[in-house]
Amino acid sequence: MELAQPPAIIPPLASLKKHLESITMQPNPRKLVAGVDLGGTAVNYTFFDGSNFLIEGLCEHPSLARQGPEVCLGQMADGLKLAADRHNVSLSEVAVVGLGTPGPASANGILSTRGSTNFVHAAWSGFDIRGALAQKLGVPVVYINDGNAGALWGHYVLFGRENQATSISAIIGTGLGGGVIVDNQVLKGPHGFAGELGHVLIPWQRIPGLENSRPVCNCGRLGDLESVCSLTALEKSLLPAFLPKYPGHELTKQSDLRKAARLVRSLAEKGDPLARELFAAQAHALGLFFDQMINTFDPDALIVGGGAIETGPEFQQWFISEIRSGLPPQWQEQGGIPIHIMPNGDTAGARGAALEALRSLPSR
Ligand SMILES: [Zn+2]
């Protein structure tokens, strides 16, 4: 005689949900994501539990990207372990790693055949940096362009995790990176080129002082945003255009314009007229560029970040007012779009990469 099967105990849906939550709420094991921001000069790490970043400030090492993939991948893995040890994190708690690097790269982290900006080593050409790091760590890795990562961080700080907002971020560094976030989605594009804002052409001849110059970007374009608004632009376009107006200025004694370019920010903060004029030109370039973005995307916010404006608040506010004065007249209805300074500038890339990792988790 066959015994009847006891009826399956099916808990009500609400108690099942509570049970699942109690499992995931247990402090151990935690479910974390990591962010790794690999730049040409530094690698930066962070850990995120979905609410808090476990590393408050910078956690970085000099980047060995120039020594090629093998050395660099080893460095990233060692650095992540070191950062984990230092902040009482076990790598077994890390569900996904978000990796940000300079582009150009495919949306899935295959670096361009021309290699990545600042990663001068032949073996980077066409290299699958996302796949290689995942293999090295034994943890899933998601890829994000570093400009997009910064943009994602700025957007998150302004609008929180759940939102339908649109923002445009421009990040002024050696070049000009950034990102476009529409309805809380980072635009990457099928080829990974969405958000390559530095190579958008602008009417540079309208910028006072540049009417007769021909700014050329490293990408070969004449008059794109990066050719006027970047550290490279200071050296190649702006100092040559403006220095002759200031005979006897201390920067005229500097024969190496690259070194001179690096001195401009601190001079500008002190109010030096030449340095302020150089930054005003960059701000006006941003104004012209943002006008295009406003008329294309109708964003909720514009965000400016990068080393150029890692300065005191007085200079940052002056820079924003210069951007506004470079904006062509707006429709009255468009006038109120705020311009923000990127929060936590140095850690924005790693934090944005961690946010991208979090977004890849189906349950979060
Ligand atoms: Zn360019």
CA of 286 to the centre of ligand 1 (A): 14
Tell me the CA–centroid distance for residue 111 and ligand 1, in Å: 18
Q: How far is the CA of 100 from the centre of ligand 1 (A)?
A: 20
Instruction: Tell me how far the alpha carbon of residue 200 lies from the centroid of ligand 1, in angstroms.
Output: 7
Question: What distance in angstroms lies between residue 28's CA and the mean position of ligand 1's atoms?
Answer: 48
Ligand 1 mean position, distance from CA 228 (Å): 10
pLDDT of residue 11: 42
CA 317 – CA 359 distance, rounded (Å): 33
Per the CB < 8 A criterion, the answer to whether 107 and 188 are in contact is: yes
Ligand 1 centre and the CA of 7: distance in Å?
Answer: 68
Distance 233 CA to ligand 1 centre (A): 10
Alpha carbon of 299 to ligand 1 centroid (Å): 23
Q: What is the pLDDT of residue 8?
A: 42
Cα(194) to centroid of ligand 1, in Å?
A: 14
* pLDDT at residue 89 in the model: 94
- 113 CA to middle of ligand 1, Å? 17
Q: Whose CA is closest to 275, among 246, 254, 304, 247?
A: 246
**What pLDDT score was predicted for residue 236?**
95
- CA dist 282 to 102, 238, 266, 330, Å? 22, 9, 15, 20
CA of 103 to the centre of ligand 1 (A): 12
Whole-number Å distance, alpha carbon 197 to ligand 1 midpoint, is 9
The Å distance, Cα 361 to ligand 1 centre, comes to 34
Per-residue model confidence (pLDDT) at position 214: 96
Distance 24 CA to ligand 1 centre (A): 46
pLDDT in tens, the chain (364 residues): 444 444 444 444 454 455 445 445 455 578 999 999 998 888 999 999 999 999 887 788 888 888 999 999 999 999 999 999 999 999 999 999 999 998 888 888 999 887 666 677 889 999 999 999 999 999 999 999 999 999 999 999 999 999 999 999 999 988 899 999 999 999 988 888 889 899 999 999 999 999 999 999 988 999 999 999 999 999 999 999 999 999 999 999 988 999 999 999 999 999 999 999 999 999 999 999 999 999 999 999 999 998 888 889 999 999 999 999 999 888 777 668 999 999 887 899 999 999 999 999 986 4
Cβ–Cβ under 8 Å, residues 288 and 328: yes
**Strand ranges, E, within the chain:** 32-38, 42-48, 60-62, 94-101, 141-145, 167-172, 176-182, 185-186, 301-305, 339-341
Report how far ligand 1's centroid is from the alpha carbon of 117 (Å).
12
Ligand 1 mean position to 198 CA, how many Å?
A: 6
CA 284 to ligand 1 centroid distance, Å = 17
**For residue 216, how far is its CA from the centre of ligand 1 (angstroms)?**
8
Residues 346 and 309: beta-carbon distance below 8 Å: no
Ligand 1 centroid distance, CA of 82 (Å): 37
- The CA 227 to ligand 1 mean position distance, Å, reads 6
Distance (angstroms) between ligand 1 centre and the Cα of 124 equals 21
3-state SS string for 41-81: CEEEEEEECCCCECCCCCCEEECCHHHCHHHHHHHHHHHHH
CA of residue 204 to ligand 1 center, whole Å: 13
pLDDT of residue 117: 62
As to burial, measured by CB atoms within 10 angstroms (0-12 exposed, 13-18 middle, 19+ buried), residue 206 is: middle
